[in-house]
Structure 1
Amino acid sequence: MSKTIVLTGGGSAGHVTPHLALIPQLQKEGYSVAYIGSKDGIEKDMMAEQQIDYTGVSTGKLRRYKDLNNLKDPFRVLKGITEARKALKKLKPSLVFSKGGFVSVPVVIAAKTLGIPCVLHESDRSPGLANKIVLRFCEKICVTFPETASLLPEGKAIHTGAIVRPDLFKGNAAKGRTLCDFSSSKPVLLVMGGSMGAQKINDTIRTELDVLLSTFHVIHICGKGKIDPNVQQYGYKAFDYVSSELSDLLACTDVVVSRAGSNAINEFLALRIPMLLVPLSPRVSRGDQVENAASFEKQGFASVVQEEELNSDTLHAQINELYTKREDIQERMKSADAYTDGTQVVAIFKDIISRKEK
């Protein structure tokens, strides 16, 4: 009978996509994989596409602001712990692996009460609120950024890097250019602002488009519903969202302008694409993207411009400088052991499971 590993995490695609990279690796090693997530979160649909056994549980949202729902959330979490315990007793996993997000809290706590070892993966430079709550219940904490280890309990952190989807390495640059109707005469600039898009980045790119097109072909992933139908020029291709085409578009990309979500920037790192990062402002977030961007800038993988400072002049100057220095940046990327295909994470699982069985 094969051993089972339960995956958990949700609330955003960033808490789920690393699992997609890890699932084939676990199955190849002979593990059965199941998922415990929220009852109606994005993770449910993503796991359905992978035909992974899925259980939904109740959870709170862990808001940082005042809201009447904050009074109800502790009861939702308690209900979620009960539901997760029931699911874990049925699945009898050897280990639970959490990628964070609010749904992971009841699952990790339930696993701890049942004596099931847990491993946590922290994608960002500093732990998010959900991970701060559950890290005490985890045997090991895999970190993406080397600096993160100093923020965690001594002896728990292991720098494994990111878990990058292997299909991203299979892109075809010629197919990517054909998809956009681009020639091979100019380098390609990719602009993306996350799954929801980034209005300030979108507006600035469109304002500066004529100047950019004198040097680059431009792929612009705008976010759902955010394509401007009035902006149509040769050398400019807009998408609201891409899925299966992403690997081909990345394969033909020379430089990228992006938000600084951990998964995305580590994918660019793995593919050796120099990046200009415009992190989400701390005014509308906990500041994790600012920290992620600062780490990549310090390591020489990226240039950074804060959203408040983004305008046509800074955008054009930064992109040109980035393209000029691209070969030096790519050399630093080649020498960096900052990403993984999940092999090291699976090795941690094996070690913990074998020690438990002794």
Structure 2
Amino acid sequence: MTRAALRWGIAGGGTGGHITPALALAERVHARGDSVFLLGSSHGLETQLVPEAGFELVSLPSRQWMGQGALARLRAGWSLAAGCRTARRALRERGTQILVSVGGYASVPAVVAAATLRIPIALVEPNARPGRANRLLAPLAARIFVQFQEAAVALRRAAGDPRLCACGIPLRRALVEAFADAPQRSAPLGRFRLLVFGGSQGARQLNDTLVEAARELDPERIAVFHQTGEADRERVEDAYAAARVPAEVVAFERDMPRRYREADLALCRAGALTVAELCMAGLPALLVPYPFAADDHQAANAQALADAGAARMLPSRPLETSDLMTALRELMRAPETLRAMGLAAASRARPDAADTIVKTCAELAPTGGEEQR
């Protein structure tokens, strides 16, 4: 007996926060022996990252449609209609049996098209405050997967709703394995180890604040690893050197699991992927939400982690050096508090999220992925 291979579509994109979960799911689907293709925008990061990962991408005409003028909304409406036609054709040609949406405005035409074809739909919402696309599309979904229970309310799903599953955010298999293989964090020896990063491109606000704060750091008690992004690397490195603070400053770091494991505390943004990685590493954090994130979702993510006792949230409008130093000094003097925060973060880790989502979604297909003679 062999299991009938299923045909999957995964929709969404625009940012790394959407594309990474999409690729994580595509990896697991491919590993099952099923076929999968992705639907996304024609101008987002997916146009580069999806082909690099070895998957087919169908580009959909799509535009943001909210918070714009009448003409822009008219164009967005036309783009949505065109995107629905393209998505419908792609889904029919491939005999798609399941569509999973990871959010972003590019997901809207794909989900609408799937609904018209009566293809089972699942949504993945990584943030505590759901994006507009997923809020709009939630009524069409047979299953909704969230990282934060707080998202359920906004998606109008009761905690006991069988369609809702709080299973975490899908992470790439290589990243999950890297966290599993990384050495466990040791007890602090010598200097306190601070990890500062703002995503792959760095964060100018964090960089500016650390340039000011460097002179207030005790070079005998602290060591810093700081990912700055390319533009600020030399400026930040010079600030640490002038203050005689031991620091390793890089534009980009490929082995983040190692850096998480070596640190005692992180200072970073609160994107959905960052939060998931902090939990995987069991690393306490000072979170500074990006103030211009859509729907202020990073503030909601940070608050959820703070409420769980896994992080402290610092205000980002503006991020005052005095606020940072007060929080940092307090935690440096409280190893038991840091330990409790780390345990709280680790308790929220969901390394099997992608596998759970794929297994659950497979049951939605008309054949249910059952074995066939």
State TM-score, norm by structure 2: 0.85
Asked if structure 2 preserves the Cα contact closer than 8 Å seen for 1:22 and 1:163, the reply is yes
- Per the TM alignment, residue 351 of structure 1 is displaced from its structure 2 partner at its CA by 1.9
- Per the TM alignment, residue 134 of structure 1 is displaced from its structure 2 partner at its CA by 1.5
Asked if structure 1 preserves the Cα contact closer than 8 Å seen for 2:269 and 2:288, the reply is yes
Asked if structure 2 preserves the Cα contact closer than 8 Å seen for 1:143 and 1:159, the reply is yes
1:228-247 paired onto structure 2 within 5 Å: 228-229=234-235, 231-232=237-238, 233=241, 235-242=246-253, 244-247=254-257
Q: Are residues 1:170 and 2:170 paired?
A: no
- Aligned partner (choices 125, 129, 132) of residue 129 of structure 1: 132
- Aligned partner (choices 192, 198, 204) of residue 193 of structure 1: 198
Match of 1:286 in 2: 295
Match of 2:275 in 1: 265
- Mark the CA change 1:71 to 1:159 in structure 2 (over 3 Å): closer, same or farther: same
1:114-125 paired onto structure 2 within 5 Å: 114-125=117-128
Asked if structure 2 preserves the Cα contact closer than 8 Å seen for 1:280 and 1:290, the reply is yes
Q: Are residues 1:75 and 2:55 paired?
A: no
Provide the rounded CA distance (Å) in 2 between the counterparts of 1:26 and 1:187: 42
- Mark the CA change 1:173 to 1:27 in structure 2 (over 3 Å): closer, same or farther: closer
- Per the TM alignment, residue 2 of structure 1 is displaced from its structure 2 partner at its CA by 2.5
1:1-358 paired onto structure 2 within 5 Å: 2-66=5-69, 68-154=71-157, 155=161, 156-168=163-175, 169-170=177-178, 185-212=190-217, 213-229=219-235, 231-232=237-238, 233=241, 235-242=246-253, 244-281=254-291, 285-308=294-317, 310-323=319-332, 324=334, 325-336=337-348, 340-353=352-365
- Mark the CA change 1:3 to 1:357 in structure 2 (over 3 Å): closer, same or farther: closer
Residue by residue, what CA displacement relative to the aligned partner does 1:131-150 show, whole Å, maximum 9, x if unpaired?
12222221111111012222
Asked if structure 2 preserves the Cα contact closer than 8 Å seen for 1:220 and 1:237, the reply is yes
Amino acid of the structure 2 residue aligned with 1:262: A
SS at structure 1 position matched to 2:133: helix
Match of 1:180 in 2: none
SS at structure 1 position matched to 2:317: helix
- Per the TM alignment, residue 347 of structure 1 is displaced from its structure 2 partner at its CA by 2.2
- Mark the CA change 1:67 to 1:231 in structure 2 (over 3 Å): closer, same or farther: farther
Asked if structure 2 preserves the Cα contact closer than 8 Å seen for 1:165 and 1:341, the reply is no
- Per the TM alignment, residue 17 of structure 1 is displaced from its structure 2 partner at its CA by 0.8
Asked if structure 1 preserves the Cα contact closer than 8 Å seen for 2:60 and 2:83, the reply is yes
- Per the TM alignment, residue 211 of structure 1 is displaced from its structure 2 partner at its CA by 3.4
Provide the rounded CA distance (Å) in 2 between the counterparts of 1:196 and 1:123: 20
Amino acid of the structure 1 residue aligned with 2:216: V
Amino acid of the structure 1 residue aligned with 2:247: Y
- Mark the CA change 1:216 to 1:92 in structure 2 (over 3 Å): closer, same or farther: farther
Residue by residue, what CA displacement relative to the aligned partner does 1:147-194 show, whole Å, maximum 9, x if unpaired?
2222324433221122233433426769xxxxxxxxx85342111223
- Mark the CA change 1:357 to 1:3 in structure 2 (over 3 Å): closer, same or farther: closer
Provide the rounded CA distance (Å) in 1 between the counterparts of 2:349 and 2:269: 22
Amino acid of the structure 2 residue aligned with 1:310: L
Amino acid of the structure 1 residue aligned with 2:252: Y
SS at structure 1 position matched to 2:194: strand
Residue by residue, what CA displacement relative to the aligned partner does 1:221-250 show, whole Å, maximum 9, x if unpaired?
2234232447333622223333x3323323
Q: Which runs of 5+ in 2 are unaligned?
A: 184-188
Provide the rounded CA distance (Å) in 2 between the counterparts of 1:90 and 1:338: 35
Aligned length, in residue pairs:
348
- Mark the CA change 1:111 to 1:295 in structure 2 (over 3 Å): closer, same or farther: same
SS at structure 1 position matched to 2:144: strand
- Mark the CA change 1:290 to 1:150 in structure 2 (over 3 Å): closer, same or farther: same
Asked if structure 2 preserves the Cα contact closer than 8 Å seen for 1:10 and 1:101, the reply is yes
SS at structure 2 position matched to 1:121: strand
- Per the TM alignment, residue 41 of structure 1 is displaced from its structure 2 partner at its CA by 1.4
- Mark the CA change 1:10 to 1:67 in structure 2 (over 3 Å): closer, same or farther: farther
Provide the rounded CA distance (Å) in 1 between the counterparts of 2:68 and 2:112: 24
SS at structure 1 position matched to 2:58: strand
Provide the rounded CA distance (Å) in 2 between the counterparts of 1:253 and 1:40: 36
Amino acid of the structure 2 residue aligned with 1:221: Q
Point out the more displaced range, 146-155 or 229-238.
229-238
- Per the TM alignment, residue 257 of structure 1 is displaced from its structure 2 partner at its CA by 0.7
SS at structure 2 position matched to 1:241: coil
Asked if structure 1 preserves the Cα contact closer than 8 Å seen for 2:362 and 2:368, the reply is no
